Structure 1
């Protein structure tokens, strides 16, 4: 029986942290606890800017090039604090612990291993360190975990092909998908079509970013050129009714990260994030936290935002959780267990 908490006089709402769910949009370094960043920076002698030490999420607005550069610079500084296998193990364990506390029973964490390889002995050692950390954290916390290997849109497409082959190599060891991240306004999706073809041929899920900093055309490019099976973000599809219908008819899930959208200036306030537009159009959604280190909130807070800013009822929140599970690459027994638990949470 889910614990209930008060919302308005005479009404109650179930605790969203107790709602079972899957988490499909979480970046590796961005999952770090702020306290862990401070400790690792001290350990490795990394000077952190005030924006990462103030205890408050940094003020970010990435809708212009300068704003995105500042966001990326902060992310890169935080990433530079991950230097040893022990650092990687700690980050993954703590990400799983945070997800467990927020009701997540399945986590797909996204990583570009090239960012860590120079300090960890190369791409293959880095992947093996990450996957070993994922297996250990999953065993210790009870949260099922898998990895999405993500190429960087700002790098050469040949680099993406290398990563796609690496991802396929580990497809039976915990890698379930291939993504494309960074500023979608830079470069063309079709430049990365061969990398995604390699991933498809290797049986991996295609989950590129699109429709966040750029408009609906970015989502269409992900579908047409990369044959996306999920779209990271995708919220700008709300501006195109025909695209909404296409997503709904195809059952392609958008990994929507409301707090991130507001923090980066895609929308001015939580009420502006088009959750209702996507919902009413029948587009499946999986709420995600994106980069809690920089945006200040984790998974359960996204469901609270859907409730508080958009009026999602408990049955609707339960359906959002179901959509996250259905869109995941969790094993069938994990999916069945989570779906059963969601029904129990929503029961009268």
Structure 2
């Protein structure tokens, strides 16, 4: 299902009765623009953050053939709740990654991503990358990580958006590979690596198998940030919570199906990185209104809205706030609280957090 099939109601809600006598017509003040709301973006994948125009340009430059789903039919129609659908999603992602062939391509991606984040009110970004997907082209795991970190520092300096990197293991690879990545990630905690993740198809690798890698990462001072509860149900979330000692969980929306589990998440203060457009795009939810943002919020869960892969789902961070405003009736006060939750759940330095939190207060109408 295409992520853009759900259109939010206009952000500016004006009411003007039909008056013919020239009397004053009262206007309801427009609601503040969510793109101006300071926030942190904690769920964004590296290749998936690329601008569509950049994908097309780099493909032409490097002679990479793009399927119609990434050109004329963009954003692609996806439905990944079955393995065939996930294979198609992953294939499109791999094709997109193949256009990143030079260090300058990676630097451009991060610079443009940071520019887009700044335009959407994001003052802090944590971008997730599996260096094994790029290592063969950029001289190995360590040179790839160093290139990404250097590009992130340059992009941050140019845009003012703070950037942390989450190194992610791949569920479809051997757990020993994950341990190698965890040790590598710990080596760069003082250079911008802030967390350790686990991504790809939940049905092809249990969180339990990666406990050793996450133990290494946690002992090294990194946030535990695995994906869970997207394509599988509460049991997948529980493994992330209990076995991987998660600080945040990528997606996690299926936790709503188990009240005890959800209560445990709330009790432990674990943040769920909820991605409404992505959930619709992959068929996890039929519409944005079916993503259980309101139920999670009212249960007391900490939520950080995320865009996941804008390149494949066609929308970035501010759109996610527009969706919960339109489809779940979030007030401006509630949207501000979502922004605060994203900032508090981040690895941003205290001065950045304080500045962003003050900006959230200033965004609310007096």
Shared fold (TM-score, shorter chain, > 0.5): yes
Per-residue deviation, 1:6: 2.0
Q: Are the equivalent residues in 2 in contact too, given 1:179–1:207 (CA < 8 A)? A: yes
1:260 counterpart = 2:278: yes
Alignment of 1:55-134 (within 5 A): 56-134=74-152
- Equivalent residue, structure 1, for 2:340: 322
Per-residue deviation, 1:129: 0.7
Distance 1:91 1:169, change over 3 A: same
How many residue pairs get matched?
345
Residue 330 of structure 1 aligns to a residue whose secondary structure is coil
After TM superposition, the runs of 4+ consecutive aligned structure 1 residues lying more than 2 A away are none
CA RMSD of aligned residues (A): 1.0
Q: Are the equivalent residues in 1 in contact too, given 2:171–2:205 (CA < 8 A)? A: yes
Q: Who wins on radius of gyration, i.e. which is larger? A: 2
Per-residue deviation, 1:188: 1.4
- Equivalent residue, structure 2, for 1:242: 260
Q: Are the equivalent residues in 1 in contact too, given 2:11–2:322 (CA < 8 A)? A: no
1:226 counterpart = 2:232: no
Per-residue deviation, 1:8: 3.8
Structure 1: distance between partners of 2:312 and 2:66: 13
- Equivalent residue, structure 2, for 1:6: 12
Q: 1:167-198 CA distances to partner (integer Å, 9 max, x unpaired)?
A: 00111100000000000111211110000001
1:175 counterpart = 2:181: no
Structure 1: distance between partners of 2:99 and 2:289: 35
Q: 1:37-60 CA distances to partner (integer Å, 9 max, x unpaired)?
A: 011111111111000011531000
- Equivalent residue, structure 1, for 2:351: 333
Distance 1:103 1:55, change over 3 A: farther
1:26 counterpart = 2:44: yes
Structure 1: distance between partners of 2:263 and 2:138: 45
Structure 2 gaps of 5+ residues are: 1-9, 16-26
Per-residue deviation, 1:5: 6.0
Structure 1 gaps of 5+ residues are: none
